[in-house]
Amino acid sequence: MSILSLSDWLNTPQGRYLLEWEQAEFDRLVADLFGYNAAQIGLPELDFLRANRMPFRFRSARFGEAAVIARAEALPFASASLDLVILPHVLEFSATPHQVLREVERVLMPEGNLIIAGFNPYSLWGLRRAIARKRGAFPWRGQYLSPFRIKDWLTLLGLEMQSAGFGCFAPAVRSEKWLERWRPMDRAGPRWWPVCGAVYLLHGIKRVQGMRLITPNWREKRAASKRMAPIAQRGRSAPGTRTTQ
C-alpha cells in the first residue's frame, strides 16, 4: 500500500490503532463544550466533532471533502467568531505551526475552546520518527512538537491549558497482530510512564483579561469646590452700601 498522505496512513493497522484512541478522546472532550460554532481544521474525511452539540459544526482543510477549503495559516473566518476549534495533527505537518495557532487564537471567541492532537516526540513513536529523520513516509516525516512547547506557545497567545491526555503506548510495529500483543502497555502506560504515549490531546481555553473602568474621583472634586467657596465675614458690609450709626 502506497502511503502518500496522513489520511492514507490512518487506514493502516497503525493508523487505526491510533485513531481508535483519538476518536474516543475527542468524543469525551467535545461532548460537554457548548456554544454556537465549531470548526475542525484538517482531516476532513473524519468527524471528530460528532459528539458535540453545537448547532453549526463544519470541517475546513486545504483539499478534500471539506465545507471550507482554506489553509490553516490563513483562516477565512471573522475574528472572535468560533466557540470551538480542533486541530487533529495539523501543527506537526505545517511549515509555520505558530502562525496556525495565532490564526486560531484570532478566530476564537473569548472563553472559546481549542483541542490539539499531536504526535509526541517523547515516545517510542517519537524514537521511530527520529530514526527516519523526516525521510520516511507519513507520519514519520512530520515535525513532532512536544506538548510542553505547545503549552508555552498557548500561554504566550493568552490560552490557558485545561488538560492534557496521552495514549497509544505500544511500540510503532506495523502488523495488527503485534499491535494486539502490545495492548497491555496501554493499560500500564498511564500509570507508569503517563507522558510517553505516542499521541496527545491538549485542551486550552482563550482567556481575555477584564478591563477596569477608571472614573473621575467626584468626591475629591466636590471637596475642593467647598474649600474654594467664599465665606461671609461677620461685621463687614457688602461693597456700595452705607452703614448708619
Can you give the residue range of the structural domain that contains 192? 6-206
CA-based nearest residue to 167, from 18, 2, 8, 6: 18
> Does residue 60 fall inside a structural domain?
yes
CATH at 28:
3.40.50.150
Residues 42-83: pLDDT tens digits?
Answer: 999 999 999 999 999 999 999 988 999 999 999 999 999 999
> Does residue 102 fall inside a structural domain?
yes
Q: Which residue, chain included where needed, has cell 475542525? A: 40
> Does residue 101 fall inside a structural domain?
yes
Query: One-letter amino acid identity for 195?
Result: V
Instruction: Give the separation between CA 141 and CA 13, rounded to whole angstroms.
Output: 18
Q: What is the mean pLDDT of residues 96-117?
A: 97
Q: 144 and 119 in contact (C-beta within 8 Å)?
A: yes
Q: In what order do the strands lie in the sheet with 108-119?
A: 68-69, 56-61, 37-41, 82-88, 108-119, 199-206, 159-167
pLDDT value at residue 142: 87
Number of structural domains the chain divides into = 1
The radius of gyration of the chain's CA atoms, rounded to the nearest angstrom, is 30
**Summary mean pLDDT of the chain:** 88
Backbone angles phi, psi at 102, to 5 degrees: -60, -40
